[in-house]
Amino acid sequence: MTQLFLNTILTFSVSSVLGYCLNSMKNYKNKLNQKEEESKILKDALMTILQNNLTNTYYKYASIEEIPDYVYKNWLNSMKMYENLGGNDYCHTLKRKIENWKIVKTDILK
């Protein structure tokens, strides 16, 4: 009788622990999926901001086809981040055009 009671308690305990572990794993997986979705949203938002910045800078200086060196350096840094995030060919087209512009030396960069 005692053996049956102990077996029942042991079986119940093991089942409870396994159930708890499985539920915890399920919750952890849900949190990971949610983090991945948030990460994708943030990546897309950052890409949009970078693309907007690259485009605005391009059109600001497009009419005179010259750009200050510090602005060009910042533009290239933004372009590099945009490419690392998987940016499309749109900004690469702008980059090819800017490469033909005159870069005006300033005293800001030494």
| Average of per-residue pLDDT values in the chain | 86
How many domains, the chain?
A: 1
The model's pLDDT over 23-62, given as tens digits with 9 standing for 90+, comes to 778 777 778 788 888 889 999 999 999 999 999 999 999 9
Rama region for 65: left / alpha / beta (φ>0; ψ in -120 to 50; rest)? left
Can you give the residue range of the structural domain that contains 81?
Answer: 2-104
In a domain, 15, yes or no: yes
In a domain, 48, yes or no: yes
pTM of the model: 0.69
Question: What confidence score (pLDDT) does residue 97 get?
Answer: 93
In a domain, 35, yes or no: yes
In a domain, 70, yes or no: yes
In a domain, 110, yes or no: no
Confidence of residue 110 (pLDDT cuts 50, 70, 90): low
Q: Locate tokens 């497009």: which residue? A: 62
Secondary structure (DSSP) of 3-35: HHHHHHHHHHHHHHHHHHHHHHHHHHHHHHHHH
